[in-house]
């Protein structure tokens, strides 16, 4: 999810498309939060680890 967010950020920046930039930021933030919760040992969406 983080990688997809970064790709959308780059494409949105290069193509100057604001909606891609916004979606990219949201995906990076959600991906980072899930990664943080998974690394702390909390089950995320029924999974013990979230990669």
pLDDT in the model for residue 38: 76
Q: What is the pLDDT of residues 1-51, one digit of tens each?
A: 888 889 988 999 899 888 998 999 999 999 998 888 777 776 666 666 555
pLDDT in the model for residue 36: 84
pLDDT in the model for residue 28: 93
CA distances from 7 to 3, 10, 14, 29, 40 (A): 6, 5, 11, 14, 26
Q: Which of 1, 42, 45 is nearest to 25 (CA)?
A: 1
Q: What is the pLDDT of residues 14-23, one digit of tens each?
A: 998 889 989 9
Contact between 13 and 1 (Cβ < 8 Å): no
pTM of the model: 0.74
């Amino acid at each position: 999810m983080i990688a997809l967010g970064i790709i959308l950020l780059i494409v949105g920046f290069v193509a100057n498309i604001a909606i891609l930039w916004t979606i990219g930021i949201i995906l990076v933030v959600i991906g980072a939060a899930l990664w943080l919760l998974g690394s702390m040992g909390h089950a995320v969406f029924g999974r013990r680890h979230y990669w």
